[in-house]
Amino acid sequence: PFFASNTTLVAYFFGKEIWDSGAGLVAAILIAVCPGYISRSVAGSYDNEGVAIFALLFTFYVFVKAVNTGSLAWSLASAFGYFYMVFYFLDWVKHMLSDTKLFQAFLRITVTSAVAVGGIALGLGMVSGYISPWTGRFYSLLDPTYAKDHIPIIASVSEHQPTAWSSFMFDFHILLFLFPAGLYFCFKRLSDATIFIVMYGLTSMYFAGVMVRLILVATPAVCLISAIAVSATVKNLTVLLRSKNKVVQTGSTKGSGGSKSSSKALLDQSQPFQKNGAIALLFGAFYLLSRYATHCTWVTSEAYSSPSIVLAARGAHGNRVIFDDYREAYFWLRQNTPQDAKVMSWWDYGYQITAMGNRTVIVDNNTWNNTHIATVGRAMSSYEDEAIEIIRSLDVDYVLVVFGGVTGYSSDDINKFLWMVRIGGGVFPVIKEPDYLVNGEYRVDKGAAPKMLNCLMYKLCYYRFGEMMTEYGKPPGYDRARGVEIGNKDVKLEHLEEAFTTSNWIVRIYRVKPPNNRW
């Protein structure tokens, strides 16, 4: 949040630079509450991106200032701002090239306009995490179909999906109206600064359309351009109010700094309701802005502030029910397994297991080794006999799965299973996705594919589930997340044994049995 407040300040100065101080104020207010930015800067989520956006905005502001004033001091400051941004960006970089920095510094100082585009691209690289432009995630920005066809692990991350209109609405609300209006005003008053912000805005909006996560990068541009629209509109309206009678502006606290009443000629038409109309419109504008603020606070409190490790839901009588299964399982791991135990799970839980369970994991959220993750995916999708060989070769002691069939929790491993198949199949062609589908449909009930009914993931999730009564009036073994009765209720495990299942069956941990003694 500290850096977020600094971002607000920088937004003010940037707005002032591009348009006027009124726009700067509005920009600061808009970006202060915009969900697109808050999603990365809430208290408790210190992340590179919170600082990176501040650095990006600061660099762009200093750059525009340099262009406007033409002074060397500001150019140097922009170079420093750029380095600051690059520094935080390099924190993300896995394989650094040491001479890239010098080369880019040279570019920066000599070819300023080319660097503006490079700054935008690097800003994107900051949130995507790679410096080399030909890495998968970057390439998928230019060719969005690339990841879907070639790299399933990139395609599977929900934040890398292309953006639907509702995500835009969720994160931007009325800014979506103000953005094209702001573009119009920028086109009306063309200057270097406005051209720059238009370019930044359009490019970042295109990339935000390709990948949901990049809405974050588009947010400062959208806020600034919307601020221009608000400021210009409110200024037009307040000018109407400042008639020859010197009527005090009613309720206008934004956008009135520096407006000169040079348009007295406008009121020669002296319509009596012109002033009332302007007042009404001003109230309308305030109403819209207040709705925006309400929306933002709601979004922040509902979607971006709740912990995701403790799940909550409404019970049958409207009371709140808490599921604390994740922490229960991680603390069980911490207290009941040997210190050097290795846990195999899907990569989503890697960091959590490492931090809270204090055990080594095979794959975690740092998904840089695709083959390794594919190996785990292959193990999960194979029959138990084949899987146990992979598991023993990885020297795994415990296997952890997440199962939502008892609670109806839909982000469990069975719903993610097809991604494990795709990622595993991407590296090991022996795993074929159609084997797990029936007529292209993914099923777990009696009509499911035989490979699906006997693979390791199915067995681990549904072990002993066949006797479980989950819902009144439904047969035992009714999976509440899929809404069907499972197909294979008689699950027998040969090489693994159940070690722990949490109270709501959300997390299930299995121990790998040592190999049988040979004669």
Region 412-451 residues binding other proteins, contact defined as CB under 8 A: 415-416, 419
Which one, 71 or 263, has the nearer CB to other proteins? 263
Which one, 10 or 279, has the nearer CB to other proteins? 279
Establish if 36 lies at the interface with other proteins (CB under 8 A): no
Establish if 517 lies at the interface with other proteins (CB under 8 A): no
Binding to other proteins (CB under 8 A) within 40-79 occurs at none
Is 165 in a helix, a strand, or coil? helix
Which residues are CB-contacts of 381 (< 8 A; sequence separation ≥ 6)? 417, 420, 421, 424, 431, 436, 455, 456, 457
d(CA 315, CA 312): 9
Smallest distance from other proteins to CB 507, Å: 15
- Window of 6-14, 114-122, 277-285, 439-447 that interacts with other proteins by CB under 8 A: 277-285
Establish if 319 lies at the interface with other proteins (CB under 8 A): no
| DSSP sequence for 195-258 | HHHHHHHHHHHHHHHH-GGGHHHHHHHHHHHHHHHHHHHHHHHHHHHS-TT-PPPSS--SS-TT
Establish if 373 lies at the interface with other proteins (CB under 8 A): no
d(CA 223, CA 182): 10
Q: Which residue has the tokens 């394989």?
A: 95
> Binding marks (x or -) toward other proteins, 351..370, rule CB under 8 A?
--------------x-----
Q: Strand pairing of 398-402 and 342-344?
A: parallel
Instruction: Please give the DSSP secondary-structure letter assigned to residue 519.
Output: -
- Window of 70-78, 129-137, 286-294, 449-457 that interacts with other proteins by CB under 8 A: 286-294
Return the residue of 41, 163, 219, 252 that touches other proteins, per CB under 8 A.
163
CA Rg, the chain, in Å?
Answer: 28
Establish if 284 lies at the interface with other proteins (CB under 8 A): yes
Establish if 276 lies at the interface with other proteins (CB under 8 A): no
Binding to other proteins (CB under 8 A) within 88-127 occurs at none
Which one, 13 or 346, has the nearer CB to other proteins? 346
Establish if 167 lies at the interface with other proteins (CB under 8 A): yes
Smallest distance from other proteins to CB 345, Å: 13
Here the tokens at position 394 are 């990885």
Establish if 320 lies at the interface with other proteins (CB under 8 A): yes
Query: In this structure, are residues 7 and 31 in contact, taking their beta carbons and an 8 Å threshold?
Result: yes
Establish if 283 lies at the interface with other proteins (CB under 8 A): no
Return the residue of 177, 283, 368, 383 that touches other proteins, per CB under 8 A.
177
| DSSP sequence for 21-57 | HHHHHHHHHHHHH-HHHHTTTSTT---HHHHHHHHHH
Smallest distance from other proteins to CB 72, Å: 33
Establish if 266 lies at the interface with other proteins (CB under 8 A): yes
Establish if 332 lies at the interface with other proteins (CB under 8 A): no
d(CA 211, CA 420): 22
CB pairs under 8 A, 24+ apart, for 188-196? 189/19, 192/64, 192/67, 192/68, 193/17, 193/18, 193/64, 193/67, 193/68, 194/18, 194/19, 196/18, 196/60, 196/63, 196/64, 196/67, 196/116
Which one, 161 or 261, has the nearer CB to other proteins? 161
Establish if 393 lies at the interface with other proteins (CB under 8 A): no
Binding to other proteins (CB under 8 A) within 287-306 occurs at 288, 291, 294-295, 298, 302-304, 306
Smallest distance from other proteins to CB 180, Å: 3
Smallest distance from other proteins to CB 518, Å: 42
**What are the distances in angstroms from CA 234 to CA 27, 57, 255, 259?**
14, 25, 6, 10
Establish if 403 lies at the interface with other proteins (CB under 8 A): no
Query: In this structure, are residues 435 and 424 in contact, taking their beta carbons and an 8 Å threshold?
Result: no
Establish if 474 lies at the interface with other proteins (CB under 8 A): no
Establish if 313 lies at the interface with other proteins (CB under 8 A): yes
Is 70 in a helix, a strand, or coil? coil
Helix or strand (DSSP H, E) at 291: helix 272-303
Q: Which residue has the tokens 């062609």?
A: 429
Which one, 2 or 206, has the nearer CB to other proteins? 206
Helix or strand (DSSP H, E) at 118: helix 112-128
d(CA 272, CA 178): 29
Total binding residues for other proteins by CB under 8 A? Answer: 73
- Window of 52-60, 124-132, 231-239, 393-401 that interacts with other proteins by CB under 8 A: 231-239
Task: Give the number of other CB atoms < 10 A from CB of residue 316.
Answer: 6
Is 441 in a helix, a strand, or coil? strand
Establish if 168 lies at the interface with other proteins (CB under 8 A): yes
Return the residue of 158, 245, 253, 262 that touches other proteins, per CB under 8 A.
158
Binding to other proteins (CB under 8 A) within 480-509 occurs at none
Smallest distance from other proteins to CB 110, Å: 29
Establish if 273 lies at the interface with other proteins (CB under 8 A): no
Establish if 410 lies at the interface with other proteins (CB under 8 A): yes
Smallest distance from other proteins to CB 465, Å: 20
- Window of 121-129, 144-152, 435-443, 511-519 that interacts with other proteins by CB under 8 A: 144-152
